[in-house]
Amino acid sequence: MPLSEHEQRMLDQIESALYAEDPKFASNVRGGRFGGASGKRRVFAAIGFAVGLMLLIAGMLLPKVEYTVIVGLIGFLLMFGSVIYALWSGPSTKGPRGTVGEDGSVRAPSGRGRGVKGARASGQSFVARMEERFRRRFP
């Protein structure tokens, strides 16, 4: 069931506030370097895996042992590399989307992040500020 427009807006505000509050935690939650692969990446990985498997099988059919080991090793490395390529998501392009103002609006990032120290200096935790905003909107 899709979220309503209001629920989606609230979720975006919470996410933005989380990015502004603790960017390190947000990047850890967002995911590490291993993650989902795009469709094009999966196709290339599947082709590479299939070619590696064919090389591995072809290596077993060669008459000389030296060629068998070399071709089989190349096939195995290609298969292994294809799996890693499919799983590796590369550097994350997501980042802080902005900060939440006192009125609940989301502002673009200013380049100077408040970080954790700025949030602690205000004297309120993230949850307390979100509860306060919720109470102001829905008395």
Query: Which pLDDT score is estimated for 76?
Result: 94
Query: Which pLDDT score is estimated for 116?
Result: 47
What are the extents of the domains in the chain?
35-89
In Å, the largest CA–CA distance within the chain is 82
Query: Which pLDDT score is estimated for 98?
Result: 56
Question: DSSP alpha helices (H): ranges in the chain?
Answer: 5-21, 23-30, 39-61, 65-87, 115-121, 126-137
Query: Which pLDDT score is estimated for 53?
Result: 94
* CA–CA gap between residue 71 and residue 56 (Å, rounded): 7
Query: Which pLDDT score is estimated for 118?
Result: 47
Query: Which pLDDT score is estimated for 109?
Result: 57
Q: What is the pLDDT along the chain (139 residues), one digit of tens a residue?
A: 677 888 888 888 888 887 888 777 776 666 544 445 577 888 899 999 999 999 999 998 888 888 899 999 999 999 999 999 888 865 544 545 556 666 656 565 555 444 444 445 556 788 888 888 888 888 6
Other Cβ atoms within 10 Å of 52 Cβ, number: 21
Query: Which pLDDT score is estimated for 93?
Result: 46
Query: Which pLDDT score is estimated for 83?
Result: 92
